[in-house]
Structures are given as structure tokens and as C-alpha cells.
Amino acid sequence: MREWLEYGSAAFANAIWGTPLLVLLVGGGLFFAIYSRLLPYRHIGHAVAITLGRHDTPGAPGELSHAQALAAALAGTLGLGNIAGVALAIVAGGPGAVFWMWASALVGVATKFFTCSLGIMYRGHDSLGELRGGPQYIIREALPKPFYPLAVLFSMAGMIGTLPMFQANQLTALVRESLGTPGDAVLFNLAVGVVIGIIVAAVVFGGLQRVARVAVALLPTMALAYLTMALFVLSRHWAEIPALLGLIVSEAFNPQAVGGGLLGVMLIGVSRGTFSNEAGLGTEVMAHSVARTSEPIREGLVGMLGPMIDTLLVCTCTALVILASGLWQAPGELNGIAMTLTALRGEIGALATPLLSVVVLILSLTTMFAGWYYGATCFGFLFGAEYQHWFRYFFIGTIVFGASVSIDVVFNLIVGAYGLMAIPTMTATLLLAPKVMSAARVYFARAPGQRMTALAASGEEP
């Protein structure tokens, strides 16, 4: 049974993550960057100011502040994708995979600017009349009816891709590694899965507001704690960092690279990078769509900060720690969270285990909290918001399942579903990109001191 699950999940992921999807995500991101004349990248300071609350609009529709929306979105990305997912990428594709993770993040900045702006522009109401958003609502509200099947595809894939199986699996693996428990201890894995499920249920049954409050309270501290550990290790290897960065770049273009040559490494890096920062998938749009604002461009600017924090900062630190340890060259049984923990333990000592355990516990739990909201939104879109409370029980049940099966099965299922989500998200965003640029010209023309920037972006004469 286990072999069948592993084979089937791998075939599913490989079928989705081919060259066409690579072109759609990376090529689409490059199009957004060029089409906008790098507008998102030139307004990072303004994006930070919005996040800090300097441009809030009292009384605007929505549930969350800009900071809460970003925290809720980061709750779905900052976590095991940054800690375990990077190790999986390096084992599968070698150091060069990290370069393509960076590439996915850089173009992902422009992608998120467009997708999150559209999320506010085309918000809709669910069957209970609540304000909701996401690619499924963008397609329903903005595109002709023949495109509606894409909204259904996104919602169906979203219910799978946002399930907490990967987080539950790797959190259970960390507990086993910490206690020295064998990996085939089925009852132990089930028990850990049940405990995790109970903790997650206590939060998700409180709704989106509770998820956002927990994320805002815990994410910054845990992210800073992990970065402190990683930077401490890198400070002991500072002289090696230039060579490691050079290795990442050279292996990214090596025709004989690990993972199937140049194209194979690109596919691994982009898929893992997208798994980490979710740019182009549309999950983050569901969080940003309920921000308390009437300015679509404002939330688009906030959303674009995600890939910078997630992949360019946190994932890079993890990658350098793993490469500096040398463990990636002979992984053996080490993979995912076990490799990252072993690399940190080799530098920090026994203290690494409890420190990383706390960080991973909090980050993985906040990711699960966000995943519940995304999955419930997709479920409500398909079957009616009045029934989406039933999704909570299914969601909690998959935590126990994820804790009990192999890492390959859960990772392939989630990554494959993510790939399916990208198809409707990127298709709708490419079709509606002119709407975003039109709104951007209006927004920056109104903003103090921004009129020349807006005119330059639009190609118009002052």
C-alpha cells in the first residue's frame, strides 16, 4: 500500500510540474515585471509604510488590517517550506535548485502585486453574504462565464493543496528525531497526529480573526528566533559564504546537475520555491482579499513583500546552513526537517533541538491555521458557506493521516495540487493585468509625490 501511494503521488506531481507550468509561473512573473516597468520593485518603501499602518482607511470594508492580512498570508508560507522544504529541494536537485527558488521569488514579487491587487478589485460575497476573495472570486466576478470552470478547478485543488499533511508529517518527524523514536513507530505517529489535531482545532474553530491574532502574535518572534540560529551558524562560516553562493549559481546552469540536468533542476527549484512563497498559486490572495481597504493597489504592494521575506531571506539562510554543513552531499536517511536539524545541531549543539522544536511547532501550527481558512473558503465556494464548518473536521482528520504516512506521499500530493492551483490563478491574472495597471496609474497619481512615478510607469507624458 505504501509503495502504491508513493508511486501514485509521485506520478501526479510529475505530471503537473512539467515545462508548461514552469513557463506559466516564471514566464508569467517576468511578463508582470516587464509589463509594470518594475513598478512593484520601486515601491518597497511605500509597501512597508502601508504594512505599518500609515495609510489605513478607517471604515473601509474588510476584516483584517494590512499587517494582519500579511501575517495571515505569511502564516501559510513561513514554516516548514522554509526549513524542511529547502532541504528537500537540495537533496532532489542539488545546490542549483536554490538559485531557481530565488528566481521564483524575484518574479513572484511582481506576480503577487498583480494577484493581490485583483483580490481586492474583484472581491465577492459567499452564499451567506460574507465578503470573500481569491482567484475563484476573481474569475467569477471579472471574467465571462466560459471561464467559470477555472474557478471550480482552483477551489477543488485548493482544498487539497492547503491541507496540513506536510506540516503534520514534518512536525511528527521532528518529535521522533528529538526523542530518538524509530520512524516506523505507527502508534507513536498516530498519537502525535492526534495531539496536533487537537491544538489546531482549538484555533480554527475560532474563525479567521483568531487565526490572524495568533499569527500576528507569534510569527515575528518565531521567524526572528530561527533567523538568529541560522545567522549564528553562518557567522562561523562567513568565509565560505561567497564560495557557497558561487556553487548555487554554477550548479543552477550545470547540464549534468543533480536532479535531471538543467531543466530538472529548474523544475525542482521553481516548484519548491513556489511551495515556499506561494506566488502565483492564489492562496495568499484569499488572505489579502479580506484586508480592510478600498485601495486594491495598496494591498497588492503589501502582498508583494511575502516572497522577499519568505524565500529571499529565510530560505536562503536555511540553504546556506545546509550547504555549509556538507550533509547534502551524503544525505542517506536524512531528508527534510531531519537534515536541517542535524546541520544546526552540528554547530549549536544539543540546544538546537529544543530551540528548533519550538520554532517549528509554532510556524507549522500557524501554517495549518492559515491552510484551514484557505481550504474552508474553497469548500464554501463550491458547496456553500453554510456547510463549510464541516470542512473543519475533514481538515483535522488529514493531520492524523499526514503524521502517519511517508514524507514523499504528502509532499507530492501537496505540490501537485499547488501546480493545479497555479493554472487558473495565472490565467486570470494575465487576462486582467491591464486592469491592475490602470488602477496603479490612478493610485500613484493621487498619492503625494508619486505623480511622476505613475506617469513614468504608464508611459505617458507629464
User: Residue 81 and residue 277: Cα distance in Å, rounded?
Assistant: 8
* Contact between residue 344 and residue 356 where contact means Cβ atoms under 8 Å apart: yes
> What per-residue confidence (pLDDT) applies to 183?
59
> What per-residue confidence (pLDDT) applies to 131?
85
In tens digits, the chain (462 residues) has pLDDT values of: 667 767 777 788 888 887 888 889 889 999 999 999 999 999 988 888 888 877 766 667 777 777 777 877 776 677 667 887 788 888 878 888 899 889 888 999 999 999 999 999 999 888 888 888 999 999 999 999 999 999 999 999 999 888 888 888 878 887 887 777 765 677 888 888 888 888 888 777 765 566 666 666 677 777 888 889 899 999 999 999 999 999 999 888 876 655 556 677 788 888 778 777 788 888 889 888 888 888 899 999 988 988 888 888 888 999 999 999 888 876 566 667 778 888 888 888 888 888 888 887 887 777 887 788 889 999 999 999 999 888 888 999 888 888 877 777 777 888 888 889 999 999 999 999 999 999 999 998 876 444 444 434 444 433
> What per-residue confidence (pLDDT) applies to 214?
66
> What per-residue confidence (pLDDT) applies to 209?
60
User: Residue 337 and residue 330: Cα distance in Å, rounded?
Assistant: 16
> What per-residue confidence (pLDDT) applies to 328?
80
Q: Which residues contact 75 (CB under 8 A, 6 or more apart)?
A: 211, 215, 219, 366, 367, 369, 370
> What per-residue confidence (pLDDT) applies to 335?
65
User: Residue 455 and residue 462: Cα distance in Å, rounded?
Assistant: 6
Q: Which residues contact 264 (CB under 8 A, 6 or more apart)?
A: 93, 257
> What per-residue confidence (pLDDT) applies to 15?
83
Show the domains of the chain with their CATH numbers. 37-458 (1.20.1740.10)
> What per-residue confidence (pLDDT) applies to 452?
41
> What per-residue confidence (pLDDT) applies to 450?
46
| Closest by CA position to 93, among listed 261, 313, 312 | 261
